[in-house]
Structure 1
């Protein structure tokens, strides 16, 4: 019995098990760094750091699956990283940028968003192994996912960057109301698009690749404007996602 415990104690962990967690930690560090930039008033860098955290967040799961090194530890670490990078950090950025001017109301809005993110991630973890969850089974997500929620929350800053003038910054109450709407969308049960479940017909492969290339080129040339278009398209897709989900649900029930 003692030998077995000693063997477990000195059990070696391969680099392929560590690598996905390193990517997750990079997302975590990017989120924390965004707060540093916000405290220094470097708003564009703060938003870039959140977007970088989103890229790392998308990569860690992909790396884990490619290396066949998914683990419960990685899933828990990912959620903790998401709370900081997409919950706490964006709330702090928006508060320092405009909500601080609303005094207690502004802080309350920041708290509401951060709490909504924590609740969303707790719900996600609770249903992590539930393959029978209706939206997941039909290829949809439940509510707005963490990275998308953080990006939507920071849209007022991005609009301000695109206009190259302090316009949105002057509408604190409007921004506060918008932030609450984003928080509600995250904890809602609205079925939203899941890119993992998205399938492209073979005949559309080349046109879709061309569109992706145009979007990437646009991000290099007019980053903020393209992000606004993507966010608007995502929000506009929600009614269609709901209708598509209801149609598939009815077809599944009939079948």
Structure 2
């Protein structure tokens, strides 16, 4: 007679696999960005990387909503992040500009890719530490991988909007990529925006800002994305100051740093809600 657990696994609703499907789609988007770059279709290459970022932001939230987050999904998400936000931007930048520097340009691309892998590995290891500071719930350590990928393609986005050849110079692109690589593996605190709480009296102004931003993205996508990238970097000093101030008033221990945006499969469906929630929080690493 078939065990109840095996029968339950065979009857797993398709919707429970949706978070993993989104993660796989994000992985495919990252790989497709490389294909577009090989064809010198730079616009679609950037769009594919940005699409991977959107999908990465959805899979973890959906996994938590469905309460199906698990270890398999977290590992799959980490792999997708490395390809889509590490390998893809590095290769795209190399084919777009850095190849003019020959081997040195390739080394720069490798440094970026390796730093992305190191950041993800450090984050996954940190998840196993039960004694994380309370601040870790509101701040990332270093720039998360999806944000780094978005920053990595900013020079390309600038040329799409304003056709400024200087932003394609390999020296500028290489220096830009190295700075981002450093930010990924640094200990600099950066805001985890999904954990920031908004005062009730600021809800309507915030919705207005979101509406204006959506309109700007539809009307002037490249210019708007450039402004978003610059604004994100400009917020880093404020995140450092905010982190220092909050460190003086918050208790020493609390829940762990935002955890992976991974989803689950049939193997993980039986895990407890508490463990699933911890594994499913790794969004925007």
What is the TM-score when the length of structure 2 is the normalising length? 0.83
Structure 2 residue 199 is matched with structure 1 residue 201 = yes
**C-alpha displacement of 1:9:** 10
Match of 1:109 in 2: 108
Structure 2 residue 255 is matched with structure 1 residue 251 = no
Match of 2:279 in 1: none
Show the 5 A alignment for 1:1-255: 7=6, 11-130=10-129, 132-134=131-133, 136-169=135-168, 171-252=169-250
**C-alpha displacement of 1:160:** 1.0
> Deviations along 1:78-113, whole A, 9 cap, x unmatched?
000001000000001000000000001100000000
CA gap 1:135/1:240 in 2 versus in 1, 3 angstroms: farther
Aligned equivalents of 1:139, 1:175: Cα separation in 2: 31
Q: CA RMSD in A?
A: 2.1
Aligned equivalents of 1:205, 1:9: Cα separation in 2: 43
Aligned equivalents of 2:150, 2:28: Cα separation in 1: 17
Aligned equivalents of 1:33, 1:197: Cα separation in 2: 31
User: Are 1:135 and 1:141, in contact at CA under 8 Å, matched by a contact in 2?
Assistant: no
Structure 1's unaligned 5+ residue stretches are none
Aligned equivalents of 1:128, 1:15: Cα separation in 2: 28
User: Are 2:134 and 2:251, in contact at CA under 8 Å, matched by a contact in 1?
Assistant: no
- Runs (4+) of structure 1 exceeding 2 A deviation are 2-17, 128-138, 164-167
Structure 2's unaligned 5+ residue stretches are 253-285
Aligned equivalents of 2:116, 2:218: Cα separation in 1: 30
RCO higher in 1 or 2 (8 Å CA, sep ≥ 6)?
2
Aligned equivalents of 1:201, 1:62: Cα separation in 2: 22
User: Are 1:138 and 1:248, in contact at CA under 8 Å, matched by a contact in 2?
Assistant: no
Secondary structure of the residue aligned to 1:167 is: helix
> Deviations along 1:141-190, whole A, 9 cap, x unmatched?
11101110001111111111121343312x21121111101000001111
Aligned equivalents of 1:100, 1:129: Cα separation in 2: 39
Secondary structure of the residue aligned to 1:70 is: coil
Higher helix share: 1
**C-alpha displacement of 1:252:** 2.0
**C-alpha displacement of 1:6:** 9.3
Aligned equivalents of 2:69, 2:50: Cα separation in 1: 24
User: Are 1:131 and 1:137, in contact at CA under 8 Å, matched by a contact in 2?
Assistant: no
Secondary structure of the residue aligned to 1:251 is: coil
Secondary structure of the residue aligned to 1:147 is: helix
Q: How many residues align?
A: 253
What is the TM-score when the length of structure 1 is the normalising length? 0.93
